Amino acid sequence: MKKQLRTVLTATSLIAGITVFANDSTRIAPGDIKVPDGFKATMIAQNIGKARHIALTSNGTIYVKLANPKEGKGIVELKSGSTGKAAVAASFDNYGGTGMAIKNGYLYASSNTAIFRYKLDEKGEVVNKSKPETIVQGLIDRGQHNSKSIALDDAGNIYVNIGAFSNSCQIEDRTAGSKGMDPCPVLDSAGGIW
């Protein structure tokens, strides 16, 4: 368990090193991240794009979901090298987004409108990067709070966050003094877990 936690923490530091900024937009170095005794934060990859989520296989392959595609690719596959740094093994698919998870031999990834899954082989590598299976489509994307985080349970369910396309259901969105609507019409299809 401790080894798995170290792997997760090290992989998480990948995101911290790429995307974590202080309030004054100063980049936070891995050494600035506070971790419990026995753990450390290490930069394992840089300049791969704006990372949103990561998923780790039991073989140590790291999949990074980018907020927006970089050079037309929205998922980055990293393999660890002998120096403790990771190298990009592959980049694939053309959508950005947030959600990513590994469950029962599949890599799941979401765009802002759909959820896909990719079969993994025994090495934890995606079998066919160019042909994911679309398992959910037609999710709402109205340009605000549109990322689709996902979680999977052991009963075969997928939970998807559908962000509200309004900050506070105002009559005139994001307008000072505009009152909120009651009932809020946004809540029939967004602003919750589906």
Q: What is the pTM of this model?
A: 0.78
User: What's the CATH number where 59 sits?
Assistant: 2.40.10.500
Q: Please, which residues have CB within 8 angstroms of residue 73's CB and are 6 or more apart in sequence?
A: 66, 91, 92, 93, 94
10 Å Cβ neighbour count for 26?
9
> What pLDDT does residue 31 have?
65
Residue at 157 is within a domain: yes
Comparing CA positions, the residue from 108, 102, 110 lying closest to residue 118 is 108
- CA atoms of 165 and 148, how far apart (whole Å): 13
- Which residues constitute the domain of residue 19? 2-163
Residue 13, H or E segment: helix 2-19
Residue 188 resides in a domain: no
pLDDT (tens, 9 = 90+) of the chain, 194 residues, equals 444 434 444 444 444 333 333 334 455 666 678 888 888 877 888 889 999 999 999 888 999 999 999 999 999 999 987 777 888 999 999 999 889 999 999 999 999 999 999 999 999 999 999 999 999 999 988 888 888 999 999 999 999 988 888 878 888 888 899 998 999 888 888 887 87
The confidence score (pLDDT) of residue 45 equals 85
The total domain count for the chain is 1
**Is residue 179 one of the residues assigned to a domain?**
no
The pLDDT value given to residue 160: 92
Tens of pLDDT, residue by residue over 26-53, are: 556 666 788 888 888 778 888 899 999 9
